[in-house]
Structure 1
Amino acid sequence: MVGMRDVAKEAGVSVSTVSLVVNGTGYVSDDMRAKVEAAMHELHYIPNELARNLYRNRTNTIGVIVPTILHPFFATLTAHLQREFAKRDLKTLLCSTADAATGESEYVNMLQRHMMDGIIMAAHTEHQPDYWTSINRPIVAFDRILGEGVPSVRSDHEAGGRMIARQLIGSGARHVVLVGGPRSQFAEGTTFPTVRYHLTVEQMTAEAGIACDYVEAGSVTDVVAHEATAAAIFQRYPDVDAIVGSDVVAAMALQEAERRGINVPDELQIIAYDGTMAAELAGKRLTMVRQDFAGIAAALAEQMDQQIEAENGSERSGQAGEPSNASESAQPGQVVPVSFIAGETTR
């Protein structure tokens, strides 16, 4: 196997010069670099990636923690994140907490042992904020608040709620049913920013004198239960004339309405919230609030870049004990715009 010593001998330079070229550290003149690169090409030298990463104290791997990839939202988000990190020559290590017994703790341990460079946390956690703030490694939260100093990225859910409410008010809706996760997530101090679109719709429809009820669809990991939830809406609220929920819920509600002979959108309006492929395959073009997955992934990757850069800067300055996720350069709550897409399921 060809090693650095072989390359150094072929190029007529020192092993340390070859190391600087391979690892991209320190100054090497253009002539020296050209000699080393020519020797590497001539000898078909392949750098040892593991050794390079150990030298840099990097793994070039980012952990992504989601509840489940069975749900279209998290499958779509994961695909965009993997694409975004690949642009940065970073690998993605996926953890689906519902599908792995160890959950996020194993990934946090890996992060603390420097087996990955950072974590995108996009799943529910029962750990208290001091757990996350004490890790002192690069962590970026998506659509949740982990604690002071841990940067986060979320969609503009308040704007999404306003878009939905205006559509319903303007079209003369009389009884709206919102479908979402456990109502306990709405408690003061919740870590789930997504509830803000529900709360916004509730407030605006109440002000307009429109009846609005909330139905729990169960855990985001229980996608199958959403079909039963859609059927239960019509039994519980026979006068419902507007349903708002995730793409999966909206698609199920549309299919249930068709089975019951309910005309959409004349008798019933349906609005999806997310904008994944599931909304495109519902049978009709669902009216939706679309989250910008590419924008979300880019924002998360940029925040992660900042965290890793801050950590590397702290280590170079001899302050490795300083929490990298409290860097002043990180934006504590970056908000990504959403868009309203009119389809065939609203008037």
Structure 2
Amino acid sequence: MVTIYDIAKQTGISKSTISRVVSGHGYVSAAKRKQILATIHQLGYVPNQTAKNLQKQRTNTIGFFSRGYYPLVGEFINIFIHSAAKYNYNVNVYFITSPQDEIDKLNLLMTKQIDAAYILTRFNSWDTIESYAKFGPLATWQRVDSPLIYSNYVDHYPVYLKIIAYLYMKGYRQIGHVLSNPRNANTVARLHAITTFSNSHHDVDQSYQLFYAEQPNAGQDAALKWIASAKRPVVLIFFADYVAAEFSATLRQKGFKVPQDCLVIGTDNSQIARLIGIPTVDLCFRSQARNAFTYLYNQLNQQQLPFEKQEPRQLFRKSELKR
């Protein structure tokens, strides 16, 4: 079992300085703090629980990590925080700016300043993040195959395939797609669905595809590209309601009619889609948020609170899909 003496021997730093880093109390220079935390992580040191009880082992605080903010993030955080509050848990939201910043926040698990972490979006590899699971439970809504990270992802392949098939049944033969980063697991699943359907339906054209790594300004850019295109698709499926809303607003500003000139479909069932009436798909992000907290709570408290079912569904009205 690794002790604080092993950390001191490895780093050449006094036990009292290491104790200040572990406890989170007292000044330690940034350079020494970084060296100590790196060694703690390398050796797998877990602070002695008896000693930690002197300052309260549990913080009843969960860290929520996101690379940035967009409307769906706000809705997700709101649901997650309300779920936590019901069980007297606090949520610290960290907007991560770099891989090192993410490591610094994960180190809060090591020093017991947070009890668990939820990873909405990330910088580092899952292997790197997974190595922190020994300090506290981890969860995400991203698709990851790890026994140490809870993932309640929704498989976008069957859902997206159903959307395309439904549009085809309604008479659409030119279907465009506005997608997120092609390396994103959900985008890979959607591209797989596009290919699957095209291989069995040769009369449908799905060649119009745009890709965006981030949501801000993506809808406006997609709208300008659609306007400039010589072969405009009559329907576009978007990777996010916010992007679909921005696209629709830009088209209307330029004198086009939505959905008459272009049918716009989102895939979040977010508040913005409800407000402006975009047909959308419920991919269960609300249930994902509540289930994520449930998992973390169960792990921290050896409980078995039940999980909600995650059942994606289309939210289209017939009038919205008329040709």
2:294 corresponding residue in structure 1: 302
1:117 corresponding residue in structure 2: 115
Q: Is the 8 A contact 1:65 1:94 kept in 2?
A: yes
Report the 3-state secondary structure (helix = DSSP H, G, I; strand = E; otherwise coil) of the residue aligned with 1:183: coil
CA distance in 2, matches of 1:212, 1:76: 31
1:231 corresponding residue in structure 2: 224
2:68 corresponding residue in structure 1: 68
Q: 1:89 to 1:330 in 2, by over 3 A?
A: closer
Aligned residues: 267
Q: Give runs of aligned pairs for residues 1-347 of structure 1, distance below 5 A.
A: 57-69=57-69, 71-98=70-97, 103-136=101-134, 137-145=136-144, 147-185=146-184, 192-193=185-186, 195-209=188-202, 210-213=204-207, 215-220=209-214, 222-236=215-229, 238-245=231-238, 246-282=240-276, 285-309=277-301, 336-343=310-317, 345-347=320-322
Report which stretch shifted further, 152-161 or 173-182.
152-161
Q: What is the CA distance between 1:149 and its match in structure 2?
A: 2.8
Q: What is the CA distance between 1:105 and its match in structure 2?
A: 1.5
Higher relative contact order (Cα pairs below 8 Å, separated by 6+ residues): 1
Q: Which has the larger radius of gyration?
A: 1
Q: Is the 8 A contact 2:62 2:90 kept in 1?
A: yes
Q: 1:240 to 1:114 in 2, by over 3 A?
A: same
TM-score, normalized by length of structure 1? 0.67
TM-score, normalized by length of structure 2? 0.72
Counterpart amino acid of 1:341?
A: L
CA distance in 2, matches of 1:335, 1:133: 29
Listed one character per residue, the Cα deviations across residues 180-217 of structure 1 (whole Å, up to 9, x for unaligned) are 222233xxxxxx34642443244224422311135444
CA distance in 2, matches of 1:336, 1:156: 11
Q: What is the CA distance between 1:111 and its match in structure 2?
A: 0.9
Listed one character per residue, the Cα deviations across residues 161-181 of structure 1 (whole Å, up to 9, x for unaligned) are 133112211121122211122
CA distance in 1, matches of 2:231, 2:187: 27
Report the 3-state secondary structure (helix = DSSP H, G, I; strand = E; otherwise coil) of the residue aligned with 1:223: coil
Q: What is the CA distance between 1:155 and its match in structure 2?
A: 2.6
- Provide the identity percentage: 17
Q: Is the 8 A contact 2:182 2:211 kept in 1?
A: no
Structure 2 unaligned runs (5+)?
1-51
Counterpart amino acid of 1:298?
A: R
Q: What is the CA distance between 1:159 and its match in structure 2?
A: 3.8
Q: What is the CA distance between 1:79 and its match in structure 2?
A: 0.7
Q: 1:206 to 1:239 in 2, by over 3 A?
A: farther
Q: Is the 8 A contact 1:234 1:240 kept in 2?
A: no
Counterpart amino acid of 2:197?
A: M
Report the 3-state secondary structure (helix = DSSP H, G, I; strand = E; otherwise coil) of the residue aligned with 1:155: coil
